[in-house]
């Protein structure tokens, strides 16, 4: 959870002197958008991560590596977030949006790999039917993760703002849509 | 608890060269005030959060969303804190105080929503009388939270310093005043 | 433990261009000294804190307040640490050393108050003799904490470097000297 | 794990104005290299640390000191990481690489000392054969740690980039190579 601490820069005294504080704060909207989107995404990742850890009966070496890869990507998130906040209104916004959505695409791929390994190798042999059914529903749901984030990555080449909005919607979507078994 | 780490900026060498270190440090009083107020507020939030988690018998989906909203607001706190520290002595202090007290108002509303849901839906049916009585007293106490922070938000349009002082007093007040059942 | 993360500033390109990287790094020795001293002090605080939590049988309201006060002081430590690192070689070093040693003095007082309350009110009535004996020895040891840090604070008015060295020695001293019962 | 949060600096508007954002981000490759290398190294340290804590039956005073020393070195890691990211492409890169590899050498020595003490003094007398065998294999493996990092430190005097690559390879190597007993 501590990885969620994402800094928003206080506007400089020069900017505030020329424009006033309220307009300077309003001009920071890319920061707020990036902050909320990254916050919700990381929150959903932790929630699903927690769900996976509750389902598996053991861990093994490959699980630790996939988990380490996922953690590496999540730890990287503050950098593209700060980059997007700084450059979303800049001529070079495309590159920032590419990296931002690309990071989330990488996370969705690492998550898919982690779950694929966990669901095929680490469920206990005598798992209850409820657990197996829950695992199947998670598999069905996660199937959409990487393609959807690939879509957001594609959109980032066309419209930066829409690609970030897509990531925000995806985070809300995966927060709300959980398999019936976990309700 | 790690969310409590709020940075205070070391005064620049230019400032210290012209004014000396002691006066430069004294001039940082808005930083200390903002640091202590935010620290105590977040501390009280965690303590009450802990109390709620100890009372409920289960959680559900809406609980997770309200909890996520509360966490989002608390994670945001370092930004208005840094803003207030930077601009409390500035001509535009009003805006900084609005955002600072407004953030705490938002937290109190998220907390009220979280508790409303938890107290009506998530207490176990066979909760002991002591627990039910404690829950009722918490409900009575939390009824004052949002209106009081709304008051502090209102004061921020009249006097910035008094609105921050009000937030500090409210944090101390909610730290000291706990329902008899939890004593 | 996360409170121990104290930043050391990378030397600027201007400084490195004029002096070379190695001498620039060597000139950062006040940063290293402040980092190590603060790290060890906070480490000892957590270790003793852990010890107290292991001894008491319950907690109460005043315990939470003393504990909150201690946490507030510890959370503040990065600021005087950064200040000392920046100004130890400066004409105004005295003020920085005053604040640095003064913060540790405040911590030792908060710790003494926390332990006084815990040892007189929160040991269970049927504590074993071993526990009671351990508590008495901790009381004997903590008696030295505040006076020793008061001494370091006094030294900071005479020699900044020696006062920091005293804090470093005190941290090592309290790390090594634990009551026989906890050995 | 929170110690893994290592900041990468967003490129300045001046640099982006003159070169474009994509080339500015590409020029940050020393930051990415340093970030990934430090991340993986700290991850492996925590994993092995966890392994040691699972094997020992008790702790004692010297264990706490060696552990504190290891923690001090790990807490220091963000500084040489930031230094390397800033100066790897600079005329003074050697000094940065020396400090970077030297920090990891110090960590490997602290780890060796911690394990030497834990394996000779803190295994329970009636440890199972499986545990004793696992401990012997860890001893065999850790024998390579300090000499290999001494090698990387030596390489840093010849080629900065290769010495960092060596640290990256060592982290991967120690992540993949675990004693058969722990598989």
How far A181 CA sits from the closest chain D CA (Å)?
A: 31
Which tokens sit at C104?
């540790």
Coil/strand/helix, residue C156 = coil
Q: State the Cα–Cα distance between residues C132 and D111, nearest whole angstrom.
A: 36
What count of Cα atoms within 13 Å lies in the side-chain half-sphere of residue D24? 20
Mean of pLDDT values over C41-67: 79
- Residue D5: closest C-alpha in chain A: A75
Q: Which residues of A touch B7 (CB under 8 A)?
A: none
Interface test with A, best of B7, B87, B102 (most A CBs within 10 A): B87
Which tokens sit at D83?
């230094």
Burial class (CB in 10 A: 0-12, 13-18, 19+), B166: buried
Nearest CB neighbour to B86, from listed A10, A43, A183: A10
Nearest CB neighbour to A83, from listed D2, D10, D39: D10
Q: Is the ipTM of this complex over 0.90?
A: no
List Cα–Cα distances, C32 to C9, C26, C29, C162, D65, in angstroms.
Answer: 11, 10, 5, 15, 19
How far D180 CA sits from the closest chain C CA (Å)?
A: 33
Contact across the interface for B68 and A43, Cβ inside 8 Å: yes
Q: Which helix (H) or strand (E) covers residue C80, if one does?
A: helix C78-87
Q: Which residues of C touch B1 (CB under 8 A)?
A: 71
How far D13 CA sits from the closest chain A CA (Å)?
A: 9
Q: Which residues of B touch C61 (CB under 8 A)?
A: 178, 183
- What number of helices (H) and strands (E) belong to chain D? 9, 0
Nearest CB neighbour to A82, from listed D6, D10, D39: D10
Which tokens sit at C183?
């050995």
List Cα–Cα distances, C79 to A9, B6, C82, in angstroms.
Answer: 19, 10, 5
What are the respective helix, strand and coil percentages of chain B, to the nearest 5? 80, 0, 20
Q: Please answer whether residues B21 and B85 qualify as being in contact, where contact means their C-beta atoms are separated by less than 8 angstroms.
A: no
Q: What are phi and psi of A87, to 5 degrees?
A: -120, 10
Top mean pLDDT of A38-42, A105-109, B90-94, C20-24 is at A105-109
Of A140 and C163, the structure prediction assigns the larger pLDDT to C163
Q: Which residues of chain D have pLDDT under 50?
A: 1, 179-183
Q: Which residues of C touch B179 (CB under 8 A)?
A: none
Q: What is the mean pLDDT of chain C?
A: 83
Q: Quote the pLDDT of residue A67.
A: 85
CB count in 10 Å sphere of residue B158: 10
A78-108 pLDDT, tens per residue?
889 989 988 988 888 899 999 999 999 999 9
Q: State the Cα–Cα distance between residues C57 and B49, nearest whole angstrom.
A: 23
Mean of pLDDT values over C56-71: 79
- What's the sign of the alpha-carbon dihedral B168, B171, B174, B176? negative
Q: State the Cα–Cα distance between residues B170 and B158, nearest whole angstrom.
A: 18
Q: Quote the pLDDT of residue B162.
A: 92
Which tokens sit at D128?
């199972």
Contact across the interface for C92 and B20, Cβ inside 8 Å: yes
Nearest CB neighbour to A2, from listed D2, D8, D175: D2
Q: State the Cα–Cα distance between residues C161 and A79, nearest whole angstrom.
A: 38
Contact across the interface for C10 and D71, Cβ inside 8 Å: no
Local confidence band at A5 (pLDDT 50, 70, 90 cut-offs): low
Interface test with B, best of C38, C76, C100 (most B CBs within 10 A): C76
Of C43, A7, C74, the closest CA to residue B39 belongs to: C74
C-D C-beta contacts closer than 8 Å: 49
Interface test with B, best of C30, C79, C93 (most B CBs within 10 A): C79
Of B137, B68, B73, the closest CA to residue B99 belongs to: B73
Q: State the Cα–Cα distance between residues B101 and B171, nearest whole angstrom.
A: 12
Mean of pLDDT values over A40-62: 79
Q: Please answer whether residues A109 and A146 qualify as being in contact, where contact means their C-beta atoms are separated by less than 8 angstroms.
A: yes
- Chains touching B (3+ CB pairs < 8 Å): A, C
Q: Which residues of B touch C70 (CB under 8 A)?
A: none
Which tokens sit at A92?
């070079």
D16-63 pLDDT, tens per residue?
888 888 888 888 888 898 888 998 898 888 878 877 777 777 777 778
Q: State the Cα–Cα distance between residues C92 and B164, nearest whole angstrom.
A: 31
Q: State the Cα–Cα distance between residues A38 and A55, nearest whole angstrom.
A: 26
CB count in 10 Å sphere of residue B23: 14
Contact across the interface for D36 and A64, Cβ inside 8 Å: no
How far C100 CA sits from the closest chain B CA (Å)?
A: 13
Which tokens sit at D19?
């070169």
pTM: 0.83
CB count in 10 Å sphere of residue B83: 23
- Residue B5: closest C-alpha in chain A: A5
B127-171 pLDDT, tens per residue?
677 777 777 777 877 888 899 999 999 999 999 999 999 999 998
Q: Which residues of chain B have pLDDT under 50?
A: 1, 179-183
- Chains touching D (3+ CB pairs < 8 Å): A, C
Q: What angle do CA D150, D156, D159 make, to 5 degrees?
A: 140
Nearest CB neighbour to C92, from listed B1, B7, B16: B16
């Amino acid at each position: 959870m501590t990885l969620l601490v994402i800094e928003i820069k206080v506007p400089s005294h020069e900017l505030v002197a020329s424009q006033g504080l309220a307009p300077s704060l309003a001009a920071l909207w890319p920061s707020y958008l990036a902050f909320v989107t990254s916050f919700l995404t990381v929150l959903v990742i932790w929630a699903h991560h927690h769900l996976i850890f509750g389902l598996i009966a053991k861990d093994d070496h490959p699980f630790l590596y996939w988990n380490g890869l996922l953690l590496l990507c999540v730890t990287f998130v503050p950098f593209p977030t700060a980059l997007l906040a700084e450059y979303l209104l800049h001529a070079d916004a495309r590159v920032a949006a590419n990296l931002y959505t690309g990071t989330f695409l990488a996370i969705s791929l690492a998550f898919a790999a982690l779950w694929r390994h966990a669901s095929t190798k680490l469920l206990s042999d005598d798992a209850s039917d409820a657990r197996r059914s829950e695992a199947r529903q998670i598999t069905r749901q996660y199937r959409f993760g990487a393609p959807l984030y690939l879509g957001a990555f594609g959109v980032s080449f066309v419209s930066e703002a829409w690609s970030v909005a897509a990531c925000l919607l995806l985070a809300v979507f995966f927060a709300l849509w959980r398999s019936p078994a976990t309700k």
